[in-house]
Protein backbone atom coordinates (compact mmCIF):
# COMPACT_ATOMS: atom_id res chain seq x y z
CA UNK A 1 0.00 0.00 0.00
CA UNK A 2 1.19 3.55 -0.48
CA UNK A 3 1.26 6.63 -2.68
CA UNK A 4 2.88 7.06 -6.10
CA UNK A 5 5.52 9.75 -5.50
CA UNK A 6 7.20 9.64 -8.91
CA UNK A 7 7.24 8.01 -12.33
CA UNK A 8 10.53 8.69 -14.11
CA UNK A 9 12.39 7.53 -17.16
CA UNK A 10 15.74 6.01 -16.22
CA UNK A 11 18.51 3.90 -17.70
CA UNK A 12 18.61 0.47 -16.06
CA UNK A 13 21.70 -1.77 -16.50
CA UNK A 14 19.56 -4.83 -17.29
CA UNK A 15 16.68 -3.24 -19.23
CA UNK A 16 18.10 -0.12 -20.87
CA UNK A 17 15.47 2.64 -21.14
CA UNK A 18 12.98 2.03 -18.35
CA UNK A 19 10.29 3.55 -16.17
CA UNK A 20 10.86 3.75 -12.41
CA UNK A 21 7.59 3.83 -10.47
CA UNK A 22 8.24 4.94 -6.88
CA UNK A 23 5.73 4.17 -4.11
CA UNK A 24 6.09 5.76 -0.66
CA UNK A 25 4.78 3.71 2.27
CA UNK A 26 3.99 5.79 5.35
CA UNK A 27 3.91 4.48 8.89
CA UNK A 28 0.17 3.78 8.41
CA UNK A 29 0.49 1.67 5.21
CA UNK A 30 0.90 -2.09 4.89
CA UNK A 31 4.61 -2.74 4.33
CA UNK A 32 4.37 -6.23 2.83
CA UNK A 33 5.25 -6.70 -0.85
CA UNK A 34 3.84 -9.41 -3.10
CA UNK A 35 5.03 -10.83 -6.42
CA UNK A 36 3.02 -8.98 -9.12
CA UNK A 37 3.04 -11.71 -11.84
CA UNK A 38 4.24 -15.28 -12.35
CA UNK A 39 7.98 -14.98 -12.92
CA UNK A 40 11.49 -16.24 -12.23
CA UNK A 41 13.98 -14.48 -9.96
CA UNK A 42 17.11 -13.78 -12.03
CA UNK A 43 19.16 -12.18 -9.26
CA UNK A 44 19.02 -10.25 -6.01
CA UNK A 45 21.31 -7.59 -4.64
CA UNK A 46 21.47 -6.09 -1.14
CA UNK A 47 23.05 -2.67 -0.64
CA UNK A 48 23.60 -1.33 2.89
CA UNK A 49 23.16 2.40 3.05
CA UNK A 50 21.76 5.45 4.74
CA UNK A 51 18.25 6.11 6.06
CA UNK A 52 17.00 9.27 4.35
CA UNK A 53 13.25 9.96 4.29
CA UNK A 54 11.89 7.42 1.81
CA UNK A 55 9.57 9.88 0.03
CA UNK A 56 12.62 11.72 -1.36
CA UNK A 57 14.38 10.63 -4.57
CA UNK A 58 17.80 10.49 -2.90
CA UNK A 59 16.52 7.49 -0.90
CA UNK A 60 16.52 5.53 -4.17
CA UNK A 61 20.28 5.94 -4.52
CA UNK A 62 21.57 6.22 -0.97
CA UNK A 63 19.34 4.22 1.37
CA UNK A 64 19.63 0.61 2.47
CA UNK A 65 17.90 -1.50 -0.17
CA UNK A 66 17.27 -4.88 -1.69
CA UNK A 67 16.89 -5.15 -5.48
CA UNK A 68 15.28 -8.17 -7.17
CA UNK A 69 15.43 -8.72 -10.94
CA UNK A 70 12.65 -10.90 -12.38
CA UNK A 71 11.66 -12.24 -15.79
CA UNK A 72 8.01 -13.11 -16.50
CA UNK A 73 6.75 -16.09 -18.53
CA UNK A 74 7.06 -14.02 -21.73
CA UNK A 75 10.71 -13.06 -20.97
CA UNK A 76 9.79 -9.49 -19.92
CA UNK A 77 12.30 -8.26 -17.30
CA UNK A 78 11.29 -6.11 -14.34
CA UNK A 79 12.90 -5.08 -11.06
CA UNK A 80 11.47 -4.44 -7.61
CA UNK A 81 13.49 -2.47 -5.06
CA UNK A 82 12.69 -2.51 -1.35
CA UNK A 83 14.13 0.66 0.19
CA UNK A 84 14.39 1.35 3.92
CA UNK A 85 13.38 4.82 5.09
CA UNK A 86 14.11 7.13 8.02
CA UNK A 87 12.11 5.05 10.50
CA UNK A 88 12.59 1.69 8.76
CA UNK A 89 15.67 -0.22 9.76
CA UNK A 90 15.01 -3.73 8.46
CA UNK A 91 14.24 -5.23 5.04
CA UNK A 92 13.01 -8.81 4.74
CA UNK A 93 13.42 -10.33 1.26
CA UNK A 94 12.10 -13.86 0.56
CA UNK A 95 13.46 -14.01 -3.02
CA UNK A 96 16.51 -16.05 -4.13
CA UNK A 97 18.04 -16.48 -7.61
CA UNK A 98 16.37 -19.09 -9.87
CA UNK A 99 13.24 -19.18 -7.69
CA UNK A 100 10.00 -19.62 -9.68
CA UNK A 101 7.34 -17.42 -8.08
CA UNK A 102 3.60 -17.00 -8.52
CA UNK A 103 1.44 -13.88 -8.63
CA UNK A 104 0.45 -12.96 -5.07
CA UNK A 105 3.30 -14.86 -3.40
CA UNK A 106 4.93 -12.99 -0.50
CA UNK A 107 8.00 -11.13 -1.80
CA UNK A 108 9.10 -9.46 1.42
CA UNK A 109 8.48 -6.87 4.09
CA UNK A 110 9.96 -3.50 5.09
CA UNK A 111 9.64 -2.33 8.66
CA UNK A 112 7.75 1.03 8.68
CA UNK A 113 8.21 4.27 6.61
CA UNK A 114 9.76 2.97 3.41
CA UNK A 115 9.74 2.99 -0.39
CA UNK A 116 9.17 0.41 -3.09
CA UNK A 117 10.25 0.96 -6.69
CA UNK A 118 9.05 -1.04 -9.65
CA UNK A 119 11.29 -0.76 -12.72
CA UNK A 120 9.93 -1.88 -16.10
CA UNK A 121 11.18 -1.61 -19.70
CA UNK A 122 9.95 1.63 -21.28
CA UNK A 123 9.35 0.19 -24.74
CA UNK A 124 7.27 -2.76 -23.50
CA UNK A 125 5.14 -1.49 -20.61
CA UNK A 126 2.00 0.63 -20.48
CA UNK A 127 1.59 2.53 -17.20
CA UNK A 128 -1.95 2.64 -15.74
CA UNK A 129 -1.35 4.93 -12.72
CA UNK A 130 -0.13 8.51 -12.21
CA UNK A 131 1.84 10.48 -9.63
CA UNK A 132 -0.26 11.13 -6.54
CA UNK A 133 -2.41 7.99 -6.87
CA UNK A 134 -2.96 5.84 -3.79
CA UNK A 135 -2.21 2.16 -4.45
CA UNK A 136 -3.12 -1.00 -2.55
CA UNK A 137 -1.14 -4.24 -2.49
CA UNK A 138 -2.62 -7.08 -4.58
CA UNK A 139 -5.40 -4.70 -5.75
CA UNK A 140 -4.00 -1.79 -7.79
CA UNK A 141 -2.71 -2.55 -11.28
CA UNK A 142 0.34 -0.39 -12.02
CA UNK A 143 0.27 -1.28 -15.73
CA UNK A 144 0.65 -4.04 -18.29
CA UNK A 145 3.39 -5.51 -20.44
CA UNK A 146 2.49 -4.95 -24.11
CA UNK A 147 1.84 -8.02 -26.24
Q: Which residues are catalytic?
A: 114
Q: What is the DSSP letter of 124?
A: G
At 26 the three-state DSSP class reads coil
Cα angle value 20/24/28 (rounded, 5°): 160
Closest CA to 26 of 106, 80, 81, 85: 85
At 119 the three-state DSSP class reads strand
Contacting residues for 54 by C-beta, under 8 A, at least 6 apart: 24, 25, 63, 83, 84, 85, 86, 88, 113, 114, 115
CA distances from 109 to 6, 21, 123 (A): 21, 18, 30
Amino acid sequence: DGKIVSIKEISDPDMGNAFKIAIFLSFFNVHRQWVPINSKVLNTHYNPGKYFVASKDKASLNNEQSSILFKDDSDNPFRIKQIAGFVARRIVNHMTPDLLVKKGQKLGFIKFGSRVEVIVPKNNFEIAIKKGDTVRGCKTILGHFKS
